[in-house]
Amino acid sequence: MDEALSLARKLAGTHTLSDGELLALIRGRGPETAAFLREAAAKTARSVFGREIYLRGLVEFTNFCRCDCRYCGIRRSNGSARRYRLTPEEILAACREGHALGFRTFVLQGGEDPWWTDERLCAVVSALKGEFPDSAVTLSVGERSRESYARLRAAGADRYLLRHETADPAHYAFLHPPGQTLESRLHCLRDLKELGYQVGAGMMVGSPGQTDECLAADLAFLRDFRPHMVGMGPYLSHPDTPFAGAPDGSAELTLYLLSAVRLLLPQALLPATTALGTALPDGRERGILHGANVVMPNLTPPEQREKYLLYHDKLSAGAECAAGLEELGRRLRAVGYEPVVQRGDSPLMLTGKQS
């Protein structure tokens, strides 16, 4: 049996691998190992979550950003991005619509927009928690101070998504301008965990300069940090960034790694991401069949949604939007899964085993 396949078997049995084994699993990938990983990951996801798929209502509430990530379409230096910022009332209205549709988690995602001070963001979070006490609020607004994270948590925020992007410091420096460091990103992730958030990390697959060693470092980081959630999608290039013209990341490799992450972290909340849905027509379904258990339809008002362009051709219609929820349900049921009206908390939180 080839080495990668025997490592995949070991991963499925023990839910861990050493750094060197993770690298060999990535380097030695092939159709047979991929099929084994997919089946083992889907089985593991079913043993933890059954056939239930958690829904998150995504509200992309600002595309102003002070960061200049070289891969991202809403980077500060992109003068062609049409900027928008929803008002607090517009955010609440989007969530109200989502709640009526059955969403019990709202993900407020945005660029690092200085207009959104702690005071303003806390006010929105507490208004949401006041109006929808049965729902979870997830924030995804980048790097802030520990005090800021503490205030937002006290205002009621339950979860926080902050992808680590790459666990290799040199690769991080290649993807970001000098002021942005992996060290600072990891510091934020540790703060968020200590403050009691359910925390999401994650990376793009196939970003410029990424090697198999980088991906092995990502898996080792996830294995050790044990985030509650892992967001992972293919890198998709954007024409108005320094990486314009760089090839897109591989959807196949993304699926392979999704399965590996499910086996490393059986309890993790793992979305079939928008980027995966953009890269493949049936990306959402294939993500689920490779071990994902979450989908995040878009609740952003349509006029603004098309301006939140992290990469080219980003999906924003059809099953991506709330109005397409029925279609999404049909598509999930067609592959044997069922979207559910639930907060969908991390099982790690429910059993009190946070680390």
Residues 242-281 close enough to bind ligand 5AD by CB under 6 A: 275
C-beta closer to ligand 5AD: residue 129 or 185: 185
Burial class of residue 256 (count of CB atoms within 10 Å of its CB; 0-12, 13-18, 19+): buried
Q: Which residues pair with 165 in a beta bridge?
A: 203
C-beta closer to ligand 5AD: residue 72 or 296: 72
Q: Judged by CB under 6 A, which stretch of 49-57, 183-191, 228-236, 319-327 contacts ligand 5AD?
A: 228-236
- 295 by DSSP, 3-state: which? strand
Q: Is 23 in the site for ligand 5AD (CB under 6 A)?
A: no
C-beta closer to ligand 5AD: residue 7 or 74: 74
329-346 burial: b if 16+ Cβ within 10 Å, else e? bebbeeeebebbeeebbb
Whether 236 and 249 have beta carbons less than 8 Å apart is answered as yes
Q: Is 311 in the site for ligand 5AD (CB under 6 A)?
A: yes
Q: Judged by CB under 6 A, which stretch of 31-39, 80-88, 219-227, 230-238 contacts ligand 5AD?
A: 230-238
Per CB under 6 A, the list member of 72, 263, 269, 309 interacting with ligand 5AD is 72
What length is written for the chain?
Answer: 355
Q: Is 70 in the site for ligand 5AD (CB under 6 A)?
A: no
Q: Is 321 in the site for ligand 5AD (CB under 6 A)?
A: no
- 70 by DSSP, 3-state: which? coil
Beta carbon of residue 350, minimum distance to ligand 5AD (angstroms, whole number): 26
Task: For strands 136-140 and 105-110, give the pairing.
Answer: parallel
Token couple for 121: 């963001």
Contacts 24+ apart (CB under 8 A), 314-319: 314/236, 314/274, 314/275, 314/278, 315/274, 315/277, 315/278, 319/277, 319/284
Query: HEC string of 177-227?
Result: CCCCCHHHHHHHHHHHHHCCCEEEEEEEECCCCCCHHHHHHHHHHHHHHCC
CA 13 to chain centre: 26
Instruction: State how far the Cα of 18 lies from the Cα of 331, in Å rounded to an integer.
Output: 37
Q: Is 144 in the site for ligand 5AD (CB under 6 A)?
A: no
Question: Which DSSP category does 50 fall into?
Answer: T
Per CB under 6 A, the list member of 38, 176, 238, 305 interacting with ligand 5AD is 238
C-beta closer to ligand 5AD: residue 5 or 107: 107
Instruction: State how far the Cα of 139 lies from the Cα of 183, in Å rounded to an integer.
Output: 21
The 10 Å Cβ neighbour count of residue 143 is 18
Beta carbon of residue 236, minimum distance to ligand 5AD (angstroms, whole number): 4
Per CB under 6 A, the list member of 49, 54, 61, 71 interacting with ligand 5AD is 71
Q: Is 113 in the site for ligand 5AD (CB under 6 A)?
A: no
Q: Is 235 in the site for ligand 5AD (CB under 6 A)?
A: yes
Q: Is 204 in the site for ligand 5AD (CB under 6 A)?
A: yes
Per CB under 6 A, the list member of 70, 104, 151, 163 interacting with ligand 5AD is 163
Instruction: State how far the Cα of 26 lies from the Cα of 7, in Å rounded to an integer.
Output: 10
Q: Judged by CB under 6 A, which stretch of 14-22, 27-35, 232-240, 341-349 contacts ligand 5AD?
A: 232-240
How many residues bind ligand 5AD (CB under 6 A)? The answer is 12
Q: Judged by CB under 6 A, which stretch of 100-108, 189-197, 210-218, 231-239 contacts ligand 5AD?
A: 231-239
C-beta closer to ligand 5AD: residue 236 or 322: 236
C-beta closer to ligand 5AD: residue 220 or 310: 310
Q: Is 236 in the site for ligand 5AD (CB under 6 A)?
A: yes
Contacting positions for ligand 5AD (CB under 6 A): 71-72, 163, 165, 204, 233, 235-236, 238, 275, 310-311
